[in-house]
Amino acid sequence: MRRMSETLFPTLTDHDALERGAVLAPRFGADGLLAAIIQHAETGEVLMVGWMNAEALRLTLDTGVTHFWSRKRQEIWKKGETSGQLLPVREARIDCDQDAVVIKTIPGGDGGVCHVAGFRSCFYRVVEDGELREDPASRLP
Amino acid sequence: MRRMSETLFPTLTDHDALERGAVLAPRFGADGLLAAIIQHAETGEVLMVGWMNAEALRLTLDTGVTHFWSRKRQEIWKKGETSGQLLPVREARIDCDQDAVVIKTIPGGDGGVCHVAGFRSCFYRVVEDGELREDPASRLP
């Protein structure tokens, strides 16, 4: 997969072009991946973090539906294909050094993203005094 | 640093405890790091993504001020120490499998987080038709 990234996206070596230019030239890590933050387009809630290789990012941008690289299964993962929790791309952003993206979406299906049943967001636990407390507001209605 | 993580946080092997329990047992990657998403506590805007090793996460939780691990400099990075853009922790959340955190904050100093001057958020470029467009709304006032 890593070899493919060269053909799927250009590589920029110029620092200013990378940070201020109009060319999408994502920088994948040593593992060939970048972090993709999934954010609810209306509430702003951070729903999950996934990982994309070049092919997953290309598929996400070309189809308008979020694809990840599953580190566990080592394969392209069209999120929601079985659960119905598809993540249509309302907006995609990339950061200054082009090694992380934010995808704004409104999840399909039951409106959740987490594999832990009943939770809309994977970030359903708040750290309080060193312990974790489940936030009922992170639950699906 | 990776050796230290064993003494700074417990390790959970039980799947249910990891996902539903009250014990904070972060899972750092092969590189000893986890992704930390910095979100504005009031607007919900995703401001940046940083990386934390066990020591950085421990410092963040113990001091209430966000610390990262600088991959470039290979050292603990108290964000804002020189720029004034400190990131006080208003809320910290961890995800289902405890390998990513969200820190809600209101940045200090000029209110921005990005090293690219003038931008409040690192995610100041929107992907549109395969090209990047700077979003004036990501600028500092």
**ipTM of the prediction:** 0.95
CA angle B84, A47, B40 (to 5 degrees): 20
Measured in whole angstroms, the distance separating CA B10 from the mean position of its chain's CA atoms is: 20
B22 touches chain A (CB under 8 A): yes
Higher pLDDT, A19 or B4: A19
- Is the separation of the CB atoms in B126 and B119 below 8 Å? no
How far apart CA A88 and CA B96 sit, in angstroms, is 22
How far apart CA A34 and CA A7 sit, in angstroms, is 17
Identify each DSSP E strand in A7-123 by its residue range.
34-40, 46-52, 67-70, 75-78, 91-94, 100-105
Backbone angles phi, psi at A116, to 5 degrees: -80, 115
Of B20, B23, B127, the CB nearest to A94: B127
pLDDT at B4: 57
pLDDT at A1: 45
Interchain pair A94, B39: CB under 8 A: no
pLDDT at B1: 45
Closest Cα in chain B, distance from residue A125 (Å) = 6
Name the burial class of residue A75, with classes exposed (0-12), middle (13-18) and buried (19+) by CB atoms within 10 angstroms of its CB. Answer: exposed
pLDDT by residue (tens digit) across A86-137? 999 999 999 999 999 999 999 999 999 999 989 999 999 999 999 999 999 9
pLDDT at B2: 47
Backbone angles phi, psi at B60, to 5 degrees: -60, -45
pLDDT range class, residue A2, cuts 50, 70, 90: very low
pLDDT range class, residue A61, cuts 50, 70, 90: very high
How far apart CA A76 and CA A67 sit, in angstroms, is 7
pLDDT by residue (tens digit) across B54-112? 999 999 999 999 999 999 999 999 999 999 999 999 999 999 999 999 999 999 999 99
Query: Residues A35-53: what's their mean pLDDT?
Result: 98
B48 touches chain A (CB under 8 A): yes
Q: Give CA separation, A40 vs A92, A96, A139, in Å.
A: 12, 21, 14
pLDDT at B65: 98
Of B37, B92, B127, the CB nearest to A93: B127
Which of chain B's residues have a Cβ under 8 Å away from the Cβ of A95? 48-49, 122-123
* Residue length of chain B: 141
pLDDT at B6: 63
Of A93, A96, A122, the CB nearest to B95: A122
pLDDT at B117: 81
Query: Residues A70-75: what's their mean pLDDT?
Result: 95
Which pair of structure tokens corresponds to residue B38? Answer: 């910095």
The residue of chain B with its CA nearest to that of A38 is B46
Percent of the residues in chain A that have a pLDDT greater than 70, as a whole number: 96
pLDDT by residue (tens digit) across B30-50? 999 999 999 999 999 999 999
Nearest to B36 by CA among B75, B118, B108, B91: B91
A128-A130-A136-A137 Cα dihedral, nearest 10 degrees: 60
3-state SS track over B43-89:
CCCEEEEEEECHHHHHHHHHHCECEEEECCCCEEEECCCCCCCCCEC
A71 touches chain B (CB under 8 A): no
A141 touches chain B (CB under 8 A): no
The residue of chain A with its CA nearest to that of B135 is A93
Please identify among residues 105-124 of chain A the ones whose CB lies closer than 8 Å to any CB of chain B.
Answer: 114-116, 119, 122-124
- Is the separation of the CB atoms in B27 and B96 below 8 Å? no
pLDDT at A86: 98
Query: Residues B100-129: what's their mean pLDDT?
Result: 96
